[in-house]
């Protein structure tokens, strides 16, 4: 009986852990922006929010990114939209759009 109760509690606790938004990994997010911005190494992020998708290991992500040019000068702040998915050894970040309609897409997602 104790083992059954322990198994049920373990299952419930692991299910509730899957509902927490992932911790932001800025290095992986910069890597995901590599083909979308001029200088991803100079990117700084704020207001990053998450919305859990139907798959508990999959989150839509929106936020703002402050960008730098290749020479290090300020290139402005843009919204971005992407996704983060849990992997076995690390999360995987995908960025769909930076700037443009990203802010409107984030609003449509409720973020």
Q: Where are the domains of the chain?
A: 22-109
pLDDT value at position 35?
A: 92
Q: What one-character-per-residue DSSP string does 19-49 give?
A: TSPPPP-HHHHHHHTTTTSS-GGG-EEEEEE
pLDDT digits (tens, 9 = 90+) for 26-60: 999 999 999 999 999 999 999 999 999 987 778 99
pLDDT value at position 57?
A: 78
pLDDT value at position 19?
A: 63
Q: What is the maximal distance between C-alpha atoms in the chain?
A: 66
Is pLDDT at 16 greater than 80 in this prediction? no
The larger pLDDT score, comparing residue 8 to residue 55, is at 55
pLDDT value at position 97?
A: 94
Whole-angstrom CA distances from 16 to 9, 19, 35 are: 11, 5, 35
Residue 12's pLDDT band (cuts 50, 70, 90): very low
Q: pTM to 2 decimals?
A: 0.77
């Amino acid at each position: 009986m104790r083992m059954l109760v322990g198994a049920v509690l373990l299952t419930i606790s692991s299910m509730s852990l899957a509902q927490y938004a992932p911790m932001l990994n800025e290095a992986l997010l910069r890597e995901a922006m590599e083909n979308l911005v001029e200088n991803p190494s100079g990117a700084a992020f704020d207001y990053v929010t998450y919305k859990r998708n139907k798959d508990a290991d999959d989150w839509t992500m929106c936020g703002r990114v402050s960008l730098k040019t290749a020479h290090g000068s300020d290139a402005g702040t843009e919204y971005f939209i992407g996704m983060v998915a849990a992997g076995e050894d690390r999360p995987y970040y995908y960025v769909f759009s930076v700037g443009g309609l990203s802010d409107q897409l984030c609003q449509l997602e409720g973020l």
